[in-house]
Amino acid sequence: MRYLKVIAQDPRDSGQPDSLYFRFYEGEQLLREATMLERQQLTTLGTTYLKCAWFNAGDREERHLRIFSLNPSADGTPESVRLHFHEGPTIIYKAAAHDLDNDGAFEVILSSDVDNDGHANRTDRNRVRALVRAFLKLGW
Ligand SMILES: [Ca+2]
Ligand SMILES: [Ca+2]
């Protein structure tokens, strides 16, 4: 399974992460880091991910997001995009967007409290939508 791994770090332990890494994986194998151009395309995704407050102290990498799309009909447009918020190999929480009728618009957003502010609400669903849109723009 191919996925984009997003890692946020707080190298100065300020409580605010300011380092972001974008890495492309196939299973457990690192394919490559995002290029400069891809990093520019991923600016919105990075900004939204930082709002999720799922980051590491110092230069650790345990906490990260894995985001990937599924296209079981193999028509080139994904029927669902999934977000797995990991701590090491363990999924701590998840979100997903589903395009039920495969028309390119995601009708169903499944989300818990993805930004860790103690409330699962519309803001979380909007963050998921923003992450999904930004990921799909990459065309990966
Ligand atoms: Ca749809
Ligand atoms: Ca929330």
Close Cβ partners of 91 (under 8 Å, ≥ 6 residues apart): 84, 85
What number is the average pLDDT over the span 16-25?
96
Domains of the chain by residue range: 2-137
Does 75 score more than 90 pLDDT?
Answer: no
How far does the centroid of ligand 2 lie from the alpha carbon of residue 72, in Å? 30
Judge if pTM exceeds 0.85: yes
Which ligand lies nearest the alpha carbon of 101? Answer: 1
What number is the average pLDDT over the span 95-119?
95
Alpha helices in the chain (DSSP H): 36-41, 43-51, 122-137
How far does the centroid of ligand 2 lie from the alpha carbon of residue 130, in Å? 14
Rounded to whole angstroms, the Cα distance separating 109 from 98 reads 7
Contact 38, 44 (CB under 8 A): no
Confidence band, pLDDT 50/70/90 cuts, at residue 104: confident
Which uninterrupted H or E stretch holds 102?
A: none
Identify the pLDDT of residue 68: 97
Share of residues in the chain with pLDDT > 90 (%) = 90
Share of residues in the chain with pLDDT > 70 (%) = 100
The number of residues making up the chain comes to: 140
